Structure 1
Amino acid sequence: MTEVFKSKEIVLQVQKKFLSKVTNKNVVKLFIDDRNANILDNLYRLTKLYTGNKKDSEKLTKNIIKIIVKLGILYRNDQFNKSELVLAHDFKYKFKELTMISVSFYEIDFSYDRNYLINNLFTCREMLKQLTKRHLTDKTMTRIDKIFDFFTDPFFLDLVFKRDNKLTPTVKLLIDGLKESLDKEF
């Protein structure tokens, strides 16, 4: 029996392992552009304002970054099969739609529909888990759940879309960043 050495698999394992140790902003910039980093910074500020807990907000943001970077690594290394690529495209479209919905809810008075938003977030969660289940660990699946559990919290969502509260200035910055991102096509 001939043993086959696959350097591509080793490179992917090393990248994943490296990522699990990465917290340095400069290294993350290799995977996330400045515009999206700005969105993540404002998302961190928003979660910190809401929770009052710096450590939890940092952990949530780091989990989001890890998921984004892992998806990027998997994609760049051609790890997704045809059906996963279709799912990735569908997820990207659904996430873009979710972003547009969020911007609309913020900009148009009395348009906010919590249940509609939560249902779309649940759909995104399931699509993301389906996309990554073959590639990532249970620990990463738990990270995905924690991220979406936070953002589907009805109290959080209600406060985000309510006007004139402690979150409003940061929400506006976040929405402006999301609008810019939509304009430049995700």
Structure 2
Amino acid sequence: MPKMAEAGSGFDSRGLGLRAQKKLLGKMSSKKIAKVFIDDTTGHLLDNMYKILKDYLPTKKEAEKMLKYLIKTVVKIGILYRNDQFNSEELSIAESFKQKFHSLALSIISFHEVEFTFDKNFLRKSIEECRILIQNLITRHLTEKSKGRIDLLFNFFATPDFLEALFSQDSVHREAMDRIVLDMHKMMDEGNL
């Protein structure tokens, strides 16, 4: 009969379970898997973001890749949080990110709903501040590959041309942005954004 690992023997079942969850997520990241981890409102928001990405990016494959990176990032951070992996300093960073992201979301809503208020430089600065906070939060938890994906996402969403495409008065993405903003309002009302 095999010997069971004793406490202090170097075997960490919780750490192994966490690594397995992250690895499994990496292999199975799709919209179906995301629905297990992501609520309906967030799912609707992501579906509409995908429509915008599909129209904006040169290929459907690039749009799928961007959405996949976004879902993986959100779910991995959620897994880390639910498994109490963040220390007190990281929890403080997470709270700062939450506040900064909430402010960014309010700005996005305002820029979409109130004509002629769009401030591209303000949005770009806010997105960059969020990127820095996320990188500080996950620095000891995720791989360099994941950190690179996060940079790619935030850099893309801060691209001046992309922001102009979303917020210009004659934007072809207006209908999808209307639905995204409705979902953002709902998420705020539920305390999820």
TM-score normalised according to structure 1 size: 0.95
Unaligned 5+ segments in structure 2 are: 1-7
Q: CA RMSD in A?
A: 1.2
Deviation, 1:52, is 3.9
Q: Which residue of 2 aligns with 1:50?
A: 56
Contact 1:105 1:111 in 2 (8 A): yes
Q: Could you tell me whether the CA contact under 8 Å between 1:35 and 1:177 is conserved in 2?
A: yes
Partner of 2:113: 107
The equivalent of 1:156 in structure 2 is 162
* Match of residue 175, structure 1, among 164, 178, 181: 181
**Distance in 1 between residues matched to 2:171 and 2:19, nearest whole Å:** 45
CA deviation string 1:2-41 (max 9, x = no partner): 6232210110111111111013433222211111011011
Aligned-residue identity in percent: 40
User: What residue is the counterpart of 1:126 in the other structure?
Assistant: 132
C-alpha separation in 2, matches of 1:106 and 1:30: 30
Amino acid at match of 1:35: T
Write the distance in 1 (CA, Å) between the matches of 2:15 and 2:138.
16
Report if the CA contact (8 A) 2:120-2:163 is conserved.
Answer: yes
Cα distance in 2 for partners of 1:87, 1:60 equals: 25
- Structure 1 residue runs of 5 or longer lacking an equivalent are none
- Write the letter of the residue equivalent to 1:39: L
Task: Output one character per residue of 1:109-136: Cα deviation in whole Å (capped at 9) or x when no partner.
Answer: 1111100000000000000000001000
One of 38, 52, 62 as aligned partner of 1:32: 38
Look at both structures and tell me which one has the larger radius of gyration over its CA atoms.
2
- Whether 2:15 is the aligned partner of 1:9: answer yes
Deviation, 1:149, is: 1.2
Question: 1: CA distance between counterparts of 2:98 and 2:178?
Answer: 23
Partner of 1:62: 68
Secondary structure (helix, strand or coil) at the match of 2:36 reads coil
CA distance in structure 1 between the partners assigned to 2:32 and 2:120 by the alignment:
36
Map of 1:84 onto structure 2 = 90
Q: Deviations over 1:132-181 (max 9, x none)?
A: 01000000011001101110110110121112232111111111111221
Q: Give a deviation string over 1:33-53, Cα, whole Å, max 9, x none.
A: 111011011111111111242
* Residue deviations 1:57-114 (CA, integer Å, cap 9, x gap): 1100000100011011101111100000111111111111100110001111111110
Aligned length: 185
* Distance of 1:69 and 1:167 partners within structure 2: 26
Q: Give the residue type in structure 1 aligned to 2:157.
A: F
TM-score calculated relative to the size of structure 2: 0.92
Distance in 2 between the 1:160 and 1:56 partners?
18
Kept after mapping to 2: 8 A contact 1:160/1:167? yes
